Amino acid sequence: MVSNLFQSGGTGLPPVELLSLSCARNIRVKLLRTDLIHPLVSGNKWYKLKYNLLAAQDQGYPRVISFGGAYSNHIHALAWAGFNMGLETVGIIRGEPEYAENPTLRDCQRWGMKLHFVDRKTYRRRSDAEYLQQLLEVVGPGYIVPEGGSNRLAVKGVAELAEALCSSESPDYILLAAGTGGTTAGFAAGVADGIRVLSVPVLKQGEFLRDDIARLLAESGVADRHNWQLDLEGHFGGYGRVCADVRSCIERFGLQYKLPLDPIYTAKLMLRLEQLLAEEYFPSGSEVMVVHTGGLQGARSLLV
């Protein structure tokens, strides 16, 4: 077991690859492969969980409690990391107990995570202080990590990745998918001046993320440089929706570029990138750094 999983201080900069898209024309597209840094704590989850789990460990908490859907990359990564750090984990799962048999949650249970299923109405209270206190009385005392791992410690971890990237690369744009906004906030906090962060929510009506990202920056003590913005046209039907275009994108990128994509985040991001290139959104001569945030484990259930 790797009880000091995060103690080494980081993973270094993940590989950066040139992505030769035929539709790019006078735009240089590169890919930050955070999906390659670890087989199970995949992509951005490494950076979002790092300081949260170290804090739980340092403060002597017996368990870590967090929230997610039935195919959550965050819950999956948390379960494995907690197991290897000697921390108990509890997943508050949106949905029915029948979901416990899917590949994601079977893995989690194998790594010792206890699953606590709640309905959607209850799940919406996941940030409510009164509910969280009631929850602790049910599952026992523990260190609570928000849905997706997105809090000030996640921003700190992702900002370190952004700083490492900017120490060796000079893109004009960072393009990434968004679910809870923590990764977007981290890049907004950590990139060098002059770089624009374009964040693509993968859920419908993602406007609320503007307030969430601004709040995360404020809670992190980071001045908002207004170097980020949301692109609300990349949800392709909504969170968890896997339309024919998304399936085709996964197959096409796998065949043409040997690049694995997941149906929730990265396939939608690549589809939106192709649209933006076709619309000539980026000025000629720009360099765009696309962040591959991992999450490939979820495809086992969603692409059957």
Residue 182 token pair: 């923590």
Confidence of residue 3 (pLDDT cuts 50, 70, 90): very low
Task: Return the pLDDT at 190.
Answer: 98
Residue 270 scores a pLDDT above 80: yes
Residue 73 scores a pLDDT above 70: yes
Task: Return the pLDDT at 303.
Answer: 58
Residue 29 scores a pLDDT above 80: yes
How many whole angstroms from its chain centre is CA 152?
14
Task: Return the pLDDT at 300.
Answer: 78
Residue 228 scores a pLDDT above 70: yes
For the structural domain made of 45-149, what CATH number should be given? Answer: 3.40.50.1100
Task: Return the pLDDT at 299.
Answer: 79
Task: Return the pLDDT at 168.
Answer: 95
Per CATH, the architecture of 16-43+159-302 is what? Answer: 3-Layer(aba) Sandwich (3.40)
Query: Distance between CA 22 and CA 265 in Å, rounded?
Result: 22
Domain with CATH 3.40.50.1100 in the chain: 16-43+159-302, 45-149
Give the residue-averaged pLDDT of 176-187.
97
DSSP string of the chain, one letter each residue: --TTTTTTS---PPPEEE---TT-TT-EEEEEEGGGS-SSS-THHHHHHHHHHHHHHHTT-SEEEEEE-TT-HHHHHHHHHHHHHT-EEEEEEES-GGGGGSHHHHHHHHTTPEEEEE-HHHHTTTT-HHHHHHHHHHH-S-EE--GGG-SHHHHHHHHHHHHHHHTT---SEEEEEESSSHHHHHHHHHSPTT-EEEEEESSTTGGGHHHHHHHHHHHTT------EEE-TT--TTSTT---HHHHHHHHHHHHHH-----TTTHHHHHHHHHHHHHTT-SPTT-EEEEEE---GGGHHHHT-
Task: Return the pLDDT at 12.
Answer: 79
Q: In percent, how much of the chain has pLDDT > 90?
A: 87
Query: Distance between CA 221 and CA 22 in Å, rounded?
Result: 41
Task: Return the pLDDT at 240.
Answer: 77
Confidence of residue 5 (pLDDT cuts 50, 70, 90): low
Looking at per-residue pLDDT, the higher value among 12 and 202 belongs to 202
Q: For 192-233, what is the HEC assignment?
A: CCCCEEEEEECCCCHHHHHHHHHHHHHHCCCCCCCCEEECCC
Q: What is the per-residue pLDDT across 93-134, written as a single tens digit (0 to 9) for each?
A: 999 999 999 999 999 999 999 999 999 999 999 999 999 999
Task: Return the pLDDT at 1.
Answer: 36
Q: In percent, how much of the chain has pLDDT > 70?
A: 95
Of 35-39, 178-182, 253-257, the poorest mean pLDDT is in: 35-39
Give the residue-averaged pLDDT of 279-288.
96
Q: Which residues contact 256 (CB under 8 A, 6 or more apart)?
A: none
Average pLDDT, the chain: 93
150 burial via Cβ count (<10 Å: 0-12, 13-18, 19+) = buried
Task: Return the pLDDT at 102.
Answer: 94
